[in-house]
């Protein structure tokens, strides 16, 4: 398997997926994760970065979760200052 370089956005999207997976596995499934909880787990993931990763690199986030047997069941963004929530569940 050859090394394929990843962009910074892909790397951050993978970090987001791994952080979501760790939180979901720790809290039990289905897990509803707010952006504040996500920031506690990984301070590098600012709300702006999280929003961009979900919009631009959603496939990478989903693939990272799928590697752990999880799926992004729902994502909602309530706008600036109101927060984002992720619902993570087991893959079927």
Taking alpha carbons only, the member of 45, 52, 51, 47 closest to residue 16 is 45
Average pLDDT over residues 7-21: 90
Q: For tokens 């979501």, what's the residue?
A: 20
Residue 83: predicted pLDDT: 80
Q: What is the pTM of this model?
A: 0.87
Residue 42: predicted pLDDT: 86
Q: b/e string for 21-52 if b means 16 or more Cβ within 10 A?
A: bebbeeeeeebebebebbeeebeebebeebee
- Residue spans of the domains in the chain: they are 8-90
49/57: higher pLDDT: 57
Residue 10: predicted pLDDT: 87
47/87: higher pLDDT: 87
> Do residues 68 and 91 touch, judged by C-beta distance below 8 A?
no
């Amino acid at each position: 398997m050859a090394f394929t370089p990843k962009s910074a956005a892909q790397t951050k999207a993978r970090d987001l997926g791994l952080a979501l997976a760790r939180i979901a596995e720790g809290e039990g499934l289905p897990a509803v994760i707010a952006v504040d909880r996500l920031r506690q787990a990984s301070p590098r993931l600012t709300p702006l970065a999280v929003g961009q990763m979900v919009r631009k690199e959603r496939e990478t986030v989903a693939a990272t979760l799928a590697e752990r047997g999880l799926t992004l069941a729902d994502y909602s963004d309530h706008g600036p200052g109101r927060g984002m929530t992720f619902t993570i569940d087991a893959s079927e």
